[in-house]
Amino acid sequence: MKSDLNLKQTRFVDEYQVDLNATKAAIRAGYSEKTAGVQGHELLKKPKIAAKIQEEFQKRAKKVNLTAEMVIREMMRLAFINVKHLYDDDGNFLPIKDLPDDVACAISGVDLTELKALDGEGDIKKLISQTKKIKFWDKRAALETLGKHLGLFNGGGETPIDEPIPDEFL
């Protein structure tokens, strides 16, 4: 099937898939560095190019078995993380390996600081204190993305949600 796009436009579509940066894609496709920002923006607005980009996204998603439902579910995990699931019944942090998947996937980083007492030979005598800092992915961004997907911020007043949020996220 012959493409309606010229060689540079086809290359732009391919390069845009790399990092979703229209300016960089335009440069890599052979457009002038001086005008690449404008060119990239204009190329994204062209219906045939936008359609081809969307087609390529869909091909890639199908190839890796990615669905919109999977993306939404993952956004929900980030948006509805419940920090009490980080602890055991005695109030101690659970080891990372024991965290529920819905909690572990929402964590972007863990910092552990330990203060240890040494004996006269430099060997560890005892652990004096330990501090764990848990950092989560941006909950607000996840909520905003989900809200936009559901049309909650369009001023309509009535929310189009017709199914409750699963208990596992509450």
Structure confidence by residue, pLDDT tens digits, 145-163: 888 877 777 665 445 555 5
The torsion angles phi and psi of 128, rounded to 5 degrees, stand at -85, -45
Output the six-digit token pair for 40: 């990239």
- Name the residue with higher pLDDT: 36 or 154: 36
- Per-domain residue ranges for the chain? 7-63, 72-154
Say what the pLDDT of residue 67 is: 82
Within a 10 A sphere around the Cβ of 144, how many other Cβ atoms?
15
Confidence check: pLDDT of 143 > 60? yes
Please tell me whether residue 111 adopts helix, strand or coil conformation.
Answer: strand
Looking at residue 157, its pLDDT comes to: 47
pLDDT at 45 over 90: yes
pLDDT at 140 over 50: yes
Whether the predicted model's global pTM rises above the 0.75 cut: no
What is 7-63's CATH number? 1.10.10.1400
Q: Check pLDDT > 90 for residue 98.
A: yes
